[in-house]
Structure 1
Amino acid sequence: GLRVLEALAASGLRSIRFAREVPGLGAIVACDRSAAAVTAMARNVAINGVGGLVTPHLGDARMLMYQSKADRAPFDVIDLDPYGSPSPFLDAAVQAVSEGGLLCVTCTDMGVMAGNSPETCYSKYGAVSLKGKFCHEMALRIVLHSLDLRANCYQRFVVPLLSLSADFYIRVFVRVFTGQAKVKASASKQALVFHCVGCGSHHLQRLGRATTHGSSLKFGAASGPPVGPTCEFCHHRHQLGGPVWAEPLHDPEFVGGVLGALERSPGRFTTEPRLRGVLSVISEELGDVPLYYTLDGLSSTIRSNTPSLLQLRSALLHAGFRVSLSHACKNAVKTDAPPAVLWDIMRCWAKLHPVKLERLPDTSPAARILSVEPTLQASFALRDDANPSSRKRGLKRFPENPEAFWGPKARAKAG
């Protein structure tokens, strides 16, 4: 059976659920460095009758993982769910997980990862966070970048299965493999983010370049940057963030498998409506388009009223581009259309719903964007395929918080 490590187990609740609900497990180690937590854990394990599977362990999770590597006894699944940042545990985790094993990593330090403390984000994850509308997806990509970077040190690399932004945390599920040839491609999977502080336009710059030569790949440095000294649309400056993971966040086959499992076991989980809704949105996301814009962000930039989601999606589809939602933000517009097309569409919208330019400073993003005539004549006629399937079916895609002031509470006291 599979060997599982819950590295920061506290009361042991998750390990107990693993033992009672997941078939095929051989052993579960529930680790915590708090003696009081391990005592409570042992009591909970006994009460639930899972002592044959769950072993409470008192100690530092990092030392336990390093020792498992030294003993050549890796874990098939490692679950990291600390209070705050998992960064101190990532180096040990990418070494202690078995070949093709699963890492489940949770981050609750969203203030750091959403751009409030970019310098702290760099010290923890090796990437600079940005305060943009896309911050929740960027946080996911920062964690994946950090995991892959640390794995690369040991000739290993990560393959994301599912990356979730939910409530006040993010959680990623990745498999870890070993392979020197595949590790060479890692630089071309990472990118810097150029983000305009005026209009919010963003561009990605890959760190490396992979080119095909017959049946082999050749790797080299990428060419750039993709932007000039100032934004071509509003003439404001760019902020530079990242590096971030620029490849898909999810494995469509895995997501489809989880949705299929839910269909085959209706009523098994009380959170089933939310699971089905969120996973359905994820299955609709454009996997090859990093980051997103938001409906309100685009309209507020040009100081216009806001088109409906279906109107903007229809305009993008009429223009020949793809568009999807993002599970990370209910107003997200994820599209392969370049920023120039998006602003042309918004210029066309402003012609239909005039903006009072006389009230705007000449140097404002709105004035500069709207002073240019659109080269694209956008159509806002509604298209049936503009309405995503998850929305048509009325799935619970973006659940409201269950109560006021919902979110992480104060850190538990050591004991």
Structure 2
Amino acid sequence: MRAAEIASGALRRSKAKAARAPPAPAAAKKPASPGGANGAGGDAGAAAPHDSSEVTAAAALAAAAAAAPDSFSGGGARILEGLAASGLRSIRYALELDGVARVDANDLDPAVVETMRSNIEFNGGAAEAKVQTFNDDARLIMLKSHQVYDAIDLDPYGTPAHLLDSAVQAVSEGGLLMVTATDMAVLCGNSGERARPPSSLAASTWAHAAAAPHGCGAPAGSTGAAAEFRVPRSAARARLHGVPRRWVCWTKYGSYPIHRPYCHESAVRILLACIEQHANRYKRYITPILSLSIDFYVRVFVRIHTSAGTVKRSASKLAYVYQSQGCDSWVLQRVGEVDTRGGGVKYTPAHGPAVPQQCPETGARYLMGGPLWAEPIHDQAFVSGLIAKMDAEKDHYAQHARIKGLLTSVTEELPDVPLYYSLHDVCKTVHCTAPKAQIFRSAIINAG
């Protein structure tokens, strides 16, 4: 995952030119409407609409083509873009993917839908024949379409959390769900925001938590909802630093993030865990085929399957992470276990604790984060096939160089090792000069 992040920052963007928009004002960069693009609550931690959408669209096209369910080959595939904005990606799906019967492009803003229709008309009869526009809440469309869509693309401003429950129900068996989350500040556990005490907590309790034992925040006389504080940036007060945004991640994704160098991969795994848990409620489960952290957002591609028996294993696919507060050491604790002794299969809670009360290296206490997805986040065979397909159709993708760089980095990752260590931070902890990355990698290769 670290290699993919480096590659995404190093490669230069180019312009995607497959779908065309008329010179009229396009809706692709419209400001987010109050309450988000789908009217489900704004997000203070959300980034602006990403300019890397060309990469996202091209990657989605390539992935959809390579991971196409059986219905694609039969010419009857249906795709839903739940928050389509300008509709250009929906047009590309219709014009560039074989085997697509219909693309449903939806947006909640009526003005945006009108612009979307103009863009479809501008792209000719082929687009008009396949792309259908809707002006509705994406959640309602998906709830009314039980296992109808062979591929669903959700690319909201901010969090997709409010869309996931309906999305996992609307995808057909073995279908493809593509989800983007741009609220990286929330998923990574960034801190330093202003926050108000929750109304459910007594003012005295909040003031006590802020003041003891490292006294910070609200003055002793602060009361109720009027009390407002800014968590200081002192390292000695890191125990409270950033707590408000971690609460936001818990409320949206059901997971606590830990802000460490691996936070971007952790963000991907938190999103996957959230999708998995939503799917489990309907006896469904996910199989990630490609997961990326690009610029300031994460993008995951997962297949959705139905099996009550396989869902029993879901707890063993999730894990909590224990992070030492004194060094870079971390330990994973699976939520559940699968016992296959004696010829049978038994699903049990995990045995713990996985760590002692204090870090054996530094004596510091542990932070506990998660749950997050602890299984592979890519399908290596799929990624290799995707690279081969893109090379065979190189002229078809304006973003070929960048996407291939990302995918090549993915193939070089260890599939069964969640998270990673930062060489720079490890050397900082042990007070030594960091060796050159090339020398360090050479030493690992020569060590076998």
The reply to whether TM is greater than 0.5 is yes
Q: Per the alignment, in what secondary structure is the counterpart of residue 224 of structure 1?
A: coil
- Counterpart amino acid of residue 15 in structure 1: S
Aligned to 2:95: 20
Structure 2 distance, partners of 1:225, 1:276, is 42
- Counterpart amino acid of residue 77 in structure 2: L
- Counterpart amino acid of residue 58 in structure 1: N
1:323-362 equivalence runs, <5 A: none
Q: Deviations over 1:247-293 (max 9, x none)?
A: 00000111011111122122322221111111111011101000001
Structure 2 distance, partners of 1:205, 1:319, is 29
Structure 2 distance, partners of 1:107, 1:267, is 29
Moved more, 192-201 or 176-185: 192-201
- Can you give the 5+ residue segments of structure 2 that lack an aligned partner in the other structure? 1-75, 191-244
Q: Deviations over 1:309-334 (max 9, x none)?
A: 233334445666xxxxxxxxxxxxxx
Q: Per the alignment, in what secondary structure is the counterpart of residue 244 of structure 1?
A: strand
1:208-287 equivalence runs, <5 A: 208-213=336-341, 216-287=344-415
Q: TM-score, normalised by structure 2?
A: 0.69
Q: Tell me if 1:203 matches 2:331.
A: yes
Aligned to 1:95: 169
- Counterpart amino acid of residue 133 in structure 2: P
Structure 2 CA distance for partners of 1:19 and 1:215, relative to 1, 3 Å: farther
Aligned to 2:136: 59
Structure 2 distance, partners of 1:173, 1:126, is 20
Q: Deviations over 1:344-384 (max 9, x none)?
A: xxxxxxxxxxxxxxxxxxxxxxxxxxxxxxxxxxxxxxxxx
Moved more, 10-19 or 295-304: 295-304
Q: Tell me if 1:38 matches 2:95.
A: no
Q: Tell me if 1:312 matches 2:440.
A: yes
Aligned to 1:122: 250
**Deviation, structure 1 residue 296:** 1.1
Structure 2 distance, partners of 1:106, 1:51, is 26
Q: Deviations over 1:170-202 (max 9, x none)?
A: 000000000010000000000000011221211
Q: CA RMSD in A?
A: 1.3
Structure 2 CA distance for partners of 1:43 and 1:214, relative to 1, 3 Å: farther
Which structure has more relative contact order (CA 8 Å, sep 6+)? It is 2
Q: Deviations over 1:188-231 (max 9, x none)?
A: 00000001122121110000001224654221011112211111
Structure 2 distance, partners of 1:105, 1:297, is 31
Aligned to 1:192: 320
1:110-149 equivalence runs, <5 A: 110-116=184-190, 117-149=245-277
Q: Per the alignment, in what secondary structure is the counterpart of residue 68 of structure 1?
A: coil
Q: TM-score, normalised by structure 1?
A: 0.74
Q: Tell me if 1:171 matches 2:294.
A: no
Q: Tell me if 1:5 matches 2:80.
A: yes
- Counterpart amino acid of residue 9 in structure 1: A
Structure 2 distance, partners of 1:306, 1:287, is 26
Aligned to 1:377: none
Structure 1 distance, partners of 2:359, 2:296, is 32
Q: Tell me if 1:105 matches 2:179.
A: yes
Structure 1 distance, partners of 2:446, 2:354, is 26
Normalized per residue, the structure richer in strand is 1
1:293 to 421, 438, 445: 421
- Counterpart amino acid of residue 151 in structure 1: A
Structure 2 distance, partners of 1:234, 1:318, is 30
- Counterpart amino acid of residue 355 in structure 2: V
Aligned to 1:181: 309
Q: Per the alignment, in what secondary structure is the counterpart of residue 82 of structure 1?
A: coil
Q: Per the alignment, in what secondary structure is the counterpart of residue 279 of structure 1?
A: helix
Structure 2 distance, partners of 1:106, 1:215, is 41
**Deviation, structure 1 residue 167:** 0.8
Q: Tell me if 1:84 matches 2:158.
A: yes
Aligned to 1:154: 282
Q: Per the alignment, in what secondary structure is the counterpart of residue 263 of structure 1?
A: helix
Identity of aligned residues (%): 46
- Counterpart amino acid of residue 139 in structure 2: R
Q: Per the alignment, in what secondary structure is the counterpart of residue 293 of structure 1?
A: coil
**Deviation, structure 1 residue 17:** 0.9
Q: Per the alignment, in what secondary structure is the counterpart of residue 129 of structure 2?
A: coil
Q: Per the alignment, in what secondary structure is the counterpart of residue 52 of structure 1?
A: helix
Structure 1 distance, partners of 2:273, 2:141, is 24
**Deviation, structure 1 residue 61:** 0.3
| Count of residue pairs brought into register by the alignment | 317
Q: Per the alignment, in what secondary structure is the counterpart of residue 204 of structure 1?
A: strand
Aligned to 2:72: none
Structure 1 distance, partners of 2:414, 2:261, is 17
Aligned to 1:402: none
**Deviation, structure 1 residue 81:** 0.2
Structure 2 distance, partners of 1:308, 1:79, is 41
Structure 2 CA distance for partners of 1:203 and 1:317, relative to 1, 3 Å: farther
Q: Deviations over 1:27-64 (max 9, x none)?
A: 11001110001110111111112111000100000001
